[in-house]
Amino acid sequence: MPRLAVLISGRGTNLQALLDAHAAGRLAAQPALVVSDVPGAAGLARAAAARVPTQVVAPADHPSRRAWCAALLAALDAHAVDLVALAGFMRILPRAFIARWRGRLVNVHPSLLPAFPGRDAIGQALAAGAPVTGCTVHFVDEGVDTGPAIARRAVPVHPADTPDSLGQRIQTAEHALYARALDAVARGAVRLDGDHAAFADPALRADLLPPLPQAPTP
């Protein structure tokens, strides 16, 4: 079974969903390490409760970005990690890290990419008056939320939505989708092929990656 590292910065709600999915037999990857760039991040306690090793690799503890990257890579190597998931990890990873883990580095983002990349995707969707948004699981490349999509789920935007109310519904969708997408990657049912995600089974692709919803015409 592939060994999974999860990189976090905060509460670790997506981390908890992955831990729960593995415990229930729905994630074919063994959580082997949780790394935070923020000392005291709440997600570290979730990992400890699940008896998953944790490590803090904070940029402030290293003399350069290059040294921080080397420390991240060393932590993963020390735990024989095969697959890396970003779960609320709020830093852009160095190119050297992405190159080392290309095709084995996955992120979840709270929008239907390519719409609303980067920070505050939920606020962006509300400001734009989008009738629908959602979440996307994707392979990580050197751009900001530009890697090939593995899975997506649409979430409607209600007229009375606030960032909190919409964010809660998107997060619920993320918790279910992220584990399913990572399970497919861990089983080899989805892999990175050049600039797109290749699926071993067309039915799996249709399930995980439905067409983007069409915006309503005026």
Q: Give the integer Cα–Cα distance in Å for 149 and 178.
A: 12
The two structure tokens encoding residue 3? 């060994």
Q: Are 144 and 92 in contact (CB under 8 A)?
A: yes
Q: Give the integer Cα–Cα distance in Å for 60 and 49.
A: 27
Q: Which residue type, as a one-letter code, is found at position 19?
A: L
Q: Are 145 and 113 in contact (CB under 8 A)?
A: yes
Residue closest to 36 by CA, chosen among 63, 15, 64, 67: 15
62 assigned to active site: no
Choice among 22, 109, 138, 175 that is catalytic: 109
9: left (phi over 0), alpha (psi -120 to 50) or beta: alpha
Q: Give the integer Cα–Cα distance in Å for 83 and 53.
A: 15
Q: Which residue type, as a one-letter code, is found at position 67?
A: A
CA angle in degrees (0–180, nearest 5) for 75-80-18: 85
Q: Give the integer Cα–Cα distance in Å for 80 and 11.
A: 25
The answer for residues whose C-beta is within 8 angstroms of residue 20's C-beta and 6 or more apart is none
Catalytic residue annotation: 109
